[in-house]
Amino acid sequence: MAHDARVTAWRPGVGGVREVFHASFVDHAYPTHTHDAWTVLILDDGAIRYDLDRRHHGAAADRSVTLLPPHVAHDGRSARPSGFRKRVLYLEPEVLGTELIGAAVDTPTFADPVLRTRVHQVHHVLGSPGETLEAQTRLAFVRERLRFHLGARPGTPDLRPGVADDLRDLLDEHVVDGLTLDRAAAMLGAHPTHLVRAFTGRFGLPPHAYLTGRRVDAARRLLLSGSPPSEAAVAAGFYDQAHLSRHFTRYLGVPPGRYRAGGIVVGRR
């Protein structure tokens, strides 16, 4: 690795995402290579040049998204002396489907500010432990838009009446242990993005926001019963105390410790 490189990489534990990779390079050049995963790339600074299947391409830090398909040879280098800064999602092959590799070779870059914003949102939430449902939800909408650009047209939603209420019931049953979007969709017989849209239309907020609100309510009850924030966090379904504190403060305007200190603990002196 070149001396000018700054790299952060991790596996987020979210279905479909093999790796998250953030990097800043000045003079590093990738040799020709392949991946067995889909590469979803956005540039935050600079510009790059690359060959994909022996065709010349480029990308810049703008409102576009670059998609490199699995099993297709490519390289990469900076197009400017100052280098480039990028963020990458490596997605499992089945997320988009290998049948779309050819379309991605023909058109690997999409000038789509909505898609870029959605990819940015996935990176943002993957940097916060405990936000699995939100990450899956945002990734599902990235997948949907990428497939649209690659020519795969979505089917017509066939949602039975009451499916949004059924999802709410499932979320209520899994406040502490959580529920993945894929599992909920399979249980209810609905496409993930269609299910999220139905829930949001019915209740005015997406499923992950509803689940977070339920967990904050549970934590409030635990805190007022005398539980310290560290215990209340885990018991209410949060990843840790920091995870609880971030959402609790956003909802109630004060951190859990101050909320507990200002409350009346029933049954204690």
Q: Kindly state whether residue 53 falls inside one of the protein's structural domains.
A: yes
- Residues 18 and 68 grouped into a single domain: yes
Residues 6 or more apart whose Cβ sits within 8 Å of residue 175: 211, 214, 215, 218, 236, 237
Burial of 96 per CB tally in 10 Å (0-12, 13-18, 19+): buried
- Residues 115 and 228 grouped into a single domain: no
Q: How many CB atoms lie within 10 A of CB 186?
A: 11
Give the CA radius of gyration of the chain. 22
- Residues 82 and 52 grouped into a single domain: yes
Residue 244 sits in a domain whose CATH number is 1.10.10.60
Instruction: Check residue 262 and give its pLDDT.
Output: 76
Q: What percent of the chain has pLDDT over 70?
A: 94
* Contact (CB, 8 A) for 96 and 147: yes
- Residue pLDDT tens, the chain, 269 long: 445 789 999 999 999 999 999 999 999 999 999 999 999 999 999 999 999 999 999 999 999 999 999 999 999 999 999 999 999 999 999 999 999 999 999 999 999 999 999 999 999 999 988 999 999 999 999 999 999 999 987 666 667 789 999 999 999 999 999 999 999 999 999 999 999 999 999 999 999 999 999 999 999 999 999 999 999 999 999 999 999 999 999 999 999 999 988 765 444 43
Residue 136 sits in a domain whose CATH number is 2.60.120.10
Integer Cα distance of 161 and 84 in angstroms = 49
Integer Cα distance of 211 and 203 in angstroms = 12
Q: Kindly state whether residue 1 falls inside one of the protein's structural domains.
A: no
Residue 176 identity: V
Instruction: Check residue 267 and give its pLDDT.
Output: 45
Q: Kindly state whether residue 158 falls inside one of the protein's structural domains.
A: no
Q: Kindly state whether residue 154 falls inside one of the protein's structural domains.
A: no
- Residues 25 and 96 grouped into a single domain: yes
Question: Could you give the 3-state DSSP secondary structure of residue 145?
Answer: helix
Integer Cα distance of 242 and 248 in angstroms = 10
Instruction: Count up the domains in the chain and report the number.
Output: 3
* Contact (CB, 8 A) for 219 and 259: no
- Residues 134 and 241 grouped into a single domain: no
Residue 66 identity: T
Structure tokens at 154: 């979505």
Q: Kindly state whether residue 155 falls inside one of the protein's structural domains.
A: no
Domain that holds residue 170: 163-204
Integer Cα distance of 148 and 174 in angstroms = 32
Instruction: Check residue 158 and give its pLDDT.
Output: 66
Q: Which of 147, 119, 118, 112 is nearest to 41 (CA)?
A: 119
Give the end-to-end CA distance of the chain in Å, rounded to a whole number: 61
Instruction: Check residue 161 and give its pLDDT.
Output: 83
Instruction: Check residue 156 and give its pLDDT.
Output: 64
- Residues 168 and 109 grouped into a single domain: no
Integer Cα distance of 42 and 142 in angstroms = 13
- Residues 58 and 113 grouped into a single domain: yes
- Residues 15 and 120 grouped into a single domain: yes
Residues 6 or more apart whose Cβ sits within 8 Å of residue 146: 40, 65, 67, 96, 110, 115
Integer Cα distance of 147 and 81 in angstroms = 34
- Residues 122 and 38 grouped into a single domain: yes
- Residues 84 and 214 grouped into a single domain: no
The pTM assigned to this predicted structure is: 0.90
Instruction: Check residue 268 and give its pLDDT.
Output: 44
Q: What is the pLDDT of residues 33-74, one digit of tens each?
A: 999 999 999 999 999 999 999 999 999 999 999 999 999 999
- Residues 71 and 29 grouped into a single domain: yes
Q: Kindly state whether residue 267 falls inside one of the protein's structural domains.
A: no
Q: Kindly state whether residue 66 falls inside one of the protein's structural domains.
A: yes
- Residues 57 and 15 grouped into a single domain: yes
